[in-house]
Structure 1
Amino acid sequence: MKQVTASGQTVEDAVQSALKQLNTTEDQVKVEVIDEGKKGIFGLFGSKPAIVKVMVVDNHLLKAEKYIKEITTQLGVDAKVEKLVSGNEITFQLSGEKIAILIGKRGQTLNAIQYLLHLVINKNSNQYYTVVVDAEGYRKRREETLINLADRLAEKAVRSKREVSLEPMPSYERKIIHTALQDKKNIKTYSFGNEPNRHVVIKP
Structure 2
Amino acid sequence: MIVVERSAKSVEDAVNQVLKEYNVSREDVAVEVLEAGNKGFLGILGNRQARVRVSIKTPLDHVKAFLDSVVEKMGLRVVYDIKEEGGHVKVNFSGENVGLMIGRRGENLDALQHLCNIVANRYNSTGYIRVLLDAENYRLKREEALKKLAYRMARKAIETGKNVVLEPMTSYERRIIHLALQGMPDIQTYSQGEEPYRKVVIAVK
Length-normalised TM-score, structure 1: 0.72
- Matched with 2:48 is 49
Say whether the 8 Å CA contact 2:60–2:83 is kept in structure 1: no
- Tell me by how many angstroms 1:50 deviates: 3.8
- Matched with 1:125 is 124
Structure 2 stretches of 5 or more lacking a match? 1-5, 16-27, 32-44
- Matched with 1:159 is 159
SS at 2:186 equivalent: coil
- Matched with 1:147 is 147
Length-normalised TM-score, structure 2: 0.72
- Matched with 2:201 is 201
Letter in 1 for 2:161: K
- Tell me by how many angstroms 1:119 deviates: 1.7
- Tell me by how many angstroms 1:72 deviates: 2.0
Which aligned pairs between 1:43-122 and structure 2 lie closer than 5 A?
49-52=48-51, 57-122=56-121
- Tell me by how many angstroms 1:57 deviates: 3.8
- Matched with 1:179 is 179
Q: Share of identical aligned residues, percent?
A: 37
SS at 1:95 equivalent: strand
Letter in 2 for 1:78: R
Say whether the 8 Å CA contact 1:69–1:79 is kept in structure 2: no
In the aligned structure 2, how far is the partner of 1:199 from the partner of 1:103? 21
In the aligned structure 2, how far is the partner of 1:92 from the partner of 1:191? 30
- Tell me by how many angstroms 1:94 deviates: 0.6
Say whether the 8 Å CA contact 1:6–1:52 is kept in structure 2: yes
Structure 1 stretches of 5 or more lacking a match? 9-13, 16-26, 31-45
- Matched with 1:138 is 138
Say whether the 8 Å CA contact 1:151–1:181 is kept in structure 2: yes
Figure out how many residues of one structure are paired with residues of the other and give that number: 173
- Tell me by how many angstroms 1:29 deviates: 6.2
Can you list the C-alpha shifts for 1:60-112, whole angstroms capped at 9, x where unaligned?
22111111122122222122121132233221101111111111111111111
